[in-house]
Amino acid sequence: MASRLNPYLNFRGQAREALDFYASVFGGDVAVSTFGEFGDPPPGSQATDVMHGQLETSMGFTLMVSDVPSSMELTVGDNITVSLSGDDVDALHGYWERLSADGTVVFPLERQMWGDEFGQCKDRFGVPWLVNITAGA
């Protein structure tokens, strides 16, 4: 079982452009899922906006991106989150519990439409975290 820690960058309608740029810098393979692929896009977003984009490089770098709907706050400079993801259910649940304790849960850690367990919180220092536990783990 494995877990990984990587940056997650947020944009407003520029995630695909940013991902292509970072791919030109670091190389690697890009994968993109749009809001439209998962049904009705949230208010303030477009169906073609990036719900989740990921760059995997031959050097072992992983960079994730998404477009934030206009109905949600986004401040350039504060648009980076730390992502924990993988299939080690017990470890990731433990990280979630410790990170969210004395912090703020933005989205509870629960099963999502794409099949994984996902949650978002800010730890007690205000650092934003995403935790995604792979489906079937």
Distances (CA, A) of 134 to 2, 43, 50, 105, 116: 10, 27, 20, 20, 5
CATH number, domain containing residue 107: 3.10.180.10
> What confidence score (pLDDT) does residue 137 get?
57
Distance CA 1, CA 91 (A): 9
Identify the domain containing residue 80 by its residue range. Answer: 3-133
Q: How many domains is the chain partitioned into structurally?
A: 1
As given in the structure block, the two tokens for residue 80 are: 């980076």
Average pLDDT across each block of 10 residues of the chain; the chain has 137 residues. List them in order: 87 93 92 90 83 92 92 85 92 93 95 95 90 85
pTM: 0.74
What type of residue sits at position 104? Answer: T
> What confidence score (pLDDT) does residue 135 get?
82
> What confidence score (pLDDT) does residue 107 get?
95
SS3 67: strand
DSSP state string for 6-55: EEEEEESS-HHHHHHHHHHHH--EEEEEEGGGGSSPPTT--TTSEEEEEE
> What confidence score (pLDDT) does residue 1 get?
63
> What confidence score (pLDDT) does residue 29 get?
96
As given in the structure block, the two tokens for residue 81 are: 């989150």
